[in-house]
Structure 1
């Protein structure tokens, strides 16, 4: 059996923004932690839903037809194929649940795109 995961401890192991780290795996999905600050890029995931759970702070998910503000303890699932832009004015700690096949920024390549994710 694997040891339990302490989220506070795992978040203390990295400081870079927009660089998700894998902390678990279940049913073909990765559980990822990320620190976000500033603006990502507009992107979508053609074949995968993406779940954002706010652990600390707040963020906004912008969509072409609106936005969703998320605060600590709240979550939102972005449906597959929906273009979105994550933004956090202050540092925000996020847990993501995504299929292992999910590309960081979908088909969009940018300076923020991470191609190989690290386990912590």
Structure 2
């Protein structure tokens, strides 16, 4: 375990890259990650893992094949394993999210895209 206490706003100030989650903590095989998101991502799913998004700043749009959910600051959404989804933002807004997911989870699932990052960088 690298971090037991963290100032989340300070951690967000340490990076500017979008769609590149940074690790800020670990517990019970789960990683706590921060990410800055802007515009569209990529449709994907995680076959064996649920994924939780907590919106720290802005408004996240989570597209599913059968509906679209809007997640505002202070709200969260859990995407069940195996459910195809596409997180995105609107109107050029940068959205800051905290993610909780198993350490083995790749943020694009099985989809390989220009935004796929296999590196797990701690900040």
TM-score (norm 1): 0.97
Aligned equivalent of 1:118: 121
CA drift at 1:3: 5.0
Structure 2 runs not aligned, ≥5 long = none
CA drift at 1:35: 0.3
Structure 1 runs not aligned, ≥5 long = none
CA–CA distance in structure 1, aligned partners of residues 111 and 42 of structure 2: 8
Aligned equivalent of 1:43: 44
Aligned equivalent of 1:19: 20
CA–CA distance in structure 2, aligned partners of residues 3 and 48 of structure 1: 24
CA drift at 1:104: 1.6
How many residues align? The count is 120
Aligned equivalent of 1:109: 112
Contact between 2:20 and 2:117, CA under 8 Å: does it hold in 1? yes
Aligned equivalent of 2:101: 98
Aligned equivalent of 1:58: 59
Q: Deviations over 1:54-77 (max 9, x none)?
A: 001011100000011000000000
- Structure having the higher strand fraction is 1
